[in-house]
Structure 1
Amino acid sequence: MSDLPFTLDQLRILKAIAAEGSFKRAADSLYVSQPAVSLQVQNLERQLDVPLFDRGGRRAQLTEAGHLLLSYGEKILTLCQETCRAIEDLQNLQGGTLIVGASQTTGTYLLPRMIGMFRQRYPDVAVQLHVHSTRRTAWSVANGQIDLAIVGGEIPPELQESLEVVPYADDELALILPVFHPLTKIDPIQKEDLYKLQFITLDSQSTIRKVIDQVLSRCGIDTRRLKIEMELNSIEAIKNAVQAGLGAAFVSISAIEKELQMGVIHRAPIEEVVVKRMLSVIYNPNRYRSKAAEAFSREILPQFATQGLEKHLIPTLPVESNALETASPNSTGS
């Protein structure tokens, strides 16, 4: 076939309509008029000789052919973005883009520090941070939308063969109490003391909640006897609830550094119990990896890795290993 029956603009419009659910919202997101979007879709359907949308409902619904074209279209657009980034690397080593992903707790408390350190060294590199669930983040890495990610949950089984999953750092989950709680005077507290507490937790399906239950069970603690006072949907809400005296909680150490320094919450060690999970770095070895991602992997990741794990981090590409370091006058050793 000499001429393709679609353009990149038409694929972008199709993707926007599928994401927004209507022609009007898609037009708004692309800063074009609704008639222009409708005309492009009509031309695309005429060129392909198949309907792409069911026009009956209030929401724009893709037909089977529409879903098929969207699936391939997203891959095409991702490859176009990778091509632009590769050319950008070639032309302007001091610029470029780094796209990092993370699961919720890691993205909120750890990645901003890492990105801040990276930006001090490479201020001309644009950095994007995408914070989602481990599952969604893993799919974005697999599809080439994210360079690399740090996650704390399990990688979907269907992606384990296509992604490299590298053990990165221990994330300790500390028991925190209100500063005026009677158990703050005991160091360490006993396992039996946990049954006396009112706990504030994340949803029972959250990764951190499952890790806590598994570790406590392995330590001989009956998690069914733990009293759950309330379930909240964010670590910040949990910290505020503990600070207000509403209960106790297990929270990542990285999330409570400021509160511990200010003395507004109390960290309570438990005798013979340490709750930890392993954070992992994930990347797709078959996708293009920018020089910015190379520099982040080489210079920033090892500084936050648990001792002994830094040597297992992402191998850098020999051809590109010193590119950013040579190009940027702000570069320093790790």
Structure 2
Amino acid sequence: MRYFPFSLEQLRILQAIKNEKSLKQAAEKLYISQPAISLQIQKLESKLDSPVFEREQKQVCFTSTGELILDYAVRILVLCEEANKSLLYLKDIKRTKLIIGSSNTTGTYLLPKIIGLFCRRYSYANVKLEISSTNRTSWSVANGQIDIGIVGGYIPKELHQSLQIKKYVNDEIGLILPKFHKLGRLNSISKHDLYDLKFITLKTHSLSRKVMDRILNENKIESSRLRIELELNSIEAIKSAVQAGLGVAFISIFALTDELKLKKIQLLKVKETKINRALSIISNPKGYRSKLLEKFDKHCFDLLTKSLYIKFLNLQN
């Protein structure tokens, strides 16, 4: 590191002497003793090998060396003040900004409601929601790019030691039918009966489709045997197609709040099967945990204790 013959403290003293016109008044301005100021000036002049000011008739007159140092001192101290303000601003942002990550369905249908309730309580919060795959969200939390995540699906094993993973709620996968479908009169159907129905799904290459197929297979429903009549690009498109009577579909209950409330579709149970996937809250235990992050974490679990919110969010423990 390059050596400098002056310190920030000495520059502050020079500036104060220039502004106050005397060592005594400069000392009072800086809340330090006059001998302490004199000592710092002596050290500075020794390193510069030149006087920085002279006393003439009780006045302080800066030498050419002193004027040169003063010119730079003003600019340096202004930059220091700007840097300090920026650091305080950054610290303030960290106190009020929260980046939340989530997987696709959860981020689209559940998180906006949770965040909305949170922001009503903490109006100063600046919340950003980033929706991506569980894999990408997990890595972003581990790398400190995202503060906290709510995900369903496979969290990479290599991250299990780096993340704090807390089980949150179960995301129920429901079989939805058109409002006037003939099977709507039944309470439930067997797994075998599923293979006779016309299904509407997301496109084959979709990551969400692969996740859904894996969940079905884990529940001993062979996704490869389902009759896929229509593949669409989004869950919203699937819901519209089911309402239009084009087929049936497996969809997260979180995505069906309005449709079920307005009775635009109906749910049909599969006998001896309850298709769930666990949602987890993930964070980096070694990362910076702001008070806002702690409040949001607590907020998520507090919602599970209030029946009104459980109904509003379609949450299940």
The two structures have a TM-score, normalised by structure 2, of 0.64
Change (3 A) 1:111 1:219: closer
| CA offsets 1:233-281 (integer angstroms, 9 cap, x no match) | 3211111111111111111111101101111111111111111100111
Match of 2:92 in 1: 88
Q: Contact conserved, 1:177 with 1:268, CA < 8 A, in 2?
A: yes
1:16-27 aligned within 5 A: none
Q: Using the alignment, how far apart are the partners of 1:269 and 1:283 within structure 2? A: 35
Match of 1:152 in 2: 152
Change (3 A) 1:221 1:96: closer
Match of 2:269 in 1: 269
Percent of counterpart pairs with the same letter?
50
| CA offsets 1:189-244 (integer angstroms, 9 cap, x no match) | 22222111111112445565445444544554443321111222321111111111
1:191-206 aligned within 5 A: 191-204=191-204, 206=206
Residue type at the aligned position of 1:130:
E
Match of 1:52 in 2: none
Q: Using the alignment, how far apart are the partners of 1:166 and 1:305 within structure 2? A: 16
Change (3 A) 1:117 1:143: same
C-alpha displacement of 1:85? 7.7
| CA offsets 1:141-177 (integer angstroms, 9 cap, x no match) | 1121211010112122332321122211110000001
Q: Using the alignment, how far apart are the partners of 2:304 and 2:255 within structure 1? A: 15
Q: Using the alignment, how far apart are the partners of 1:219 and 1:123 within structure 2? A: 42
| CA offsets 1:54-84 (integer angstroms, 9 cap, x no match) | xxxxxxxxxxxxxxxxxxxxxxxxxxxxx76
Match of 1:54 in 2: none
1:40-79 aligned within 5 A: none
**Equivalent residue of 1:269, what SS?**
strand
Change (3 A) 1:237 1:288: same
Q: Using the alignment, how far apart are the partners of 2:184 and 2:102 within structure 1? A: 33
Match of 1:234 in 2: 234
Residue type at the aligned position of 2:92:
E
> Runs of 5+ in structure 1 lacking a partner?
4-82, 308-334
Match of 1:47 in 2: none
Q: Using the alignment, how far apart are the partners of 1:137 and 1:251 within structure 2? A: 22
Q: Contact conserved, 1:176 with 1:250, CA < 8 A, in 2?
A: yes
Q: Contact conserved, 1:177 with 1:184, CA < 8 A, in 2?
A: yes
Q: Using the alignment, how far apart are the partners of 1:210 and 1:261 within structure 2? A: 28
Whether 1:172 aligns to 2:148 is no
Q: Using the alignment, how far apart are the partners of 1:121 and 1:227 within structure 2? A: 47
Q: Contact conserved, 2:199 with 2:226, CA < 8 A, in 1?
A: yes
| CA offsets 1:96-117 (integer angstroms, 9 cap, x no match) | 1121111111111111111111
The two structures have a TM-score, normalised by structure 1, of 0.61
| Cα RMSD for the two superposed structures | 2.7
Match of 1:43 in 2: none
1:303-314 aligned within 5 A: 303-304=303-304
Q: Higher mean Cα deviation, 221-230 or 263-272?
A: 221-230
Q: Using the alignment, how far apart are the partners of 1:274 and 1:237 within structure 2? A: 25
Q: Using the alignment, how far apart are the partners of 1:138 and 1:304 within structure 2? A: 23
Q: How many residues align?
A: 224
Match of 1:281 in 2: 281
Whether 1:182 aligns to 2:182 is yes
Match of 2:113 in 1: 113
> Runs of 5+ in structure 2 lacking a partner?
4-86, 308-317
Change (3 A) 1:153 1:218: closer
Q: Contact conserved, 1:168 with 1:306, CA < 8 A, in 2?
A: no
Change (3 A) 1:277 1:207: farther
Q: Contact conserved, 2:178 with 2:245, CA < 8 A, in 1?
A: yes
Structure number, greater radius of gyration: 2
Q: Contact conserved, 1:85 with 1:290, CA < 8 A, in 2?
A: no
Change (3 A) 1:218 1:305: farther
Q: Contact conserved, 2:104 with 2:208, CA < 8 A, in 1?
A: no
Q: Using the alignment, how far apart are the partners of 2:269 and 2:2 within structure 1? A: 70
Change (3 A) 1:306 1:172: farther
Change (3 A) 1:234 1:154: same
Residue type at the aligned position of 2:176:
I
Match of 1:140 in 2: 140
Match of 2:246 in 1: 246
Q: Using the alignment, how far apart are the partners of 1:251 and 1:158 within structure 2? A: 30
Q: Using the alignment, how far apart are the partners of 1:175 and 1:181 within structure 2? A: 12
Q: Using the alignment, how far apart are the partners of 1:85 and 1:106 within structure 2? A: 32
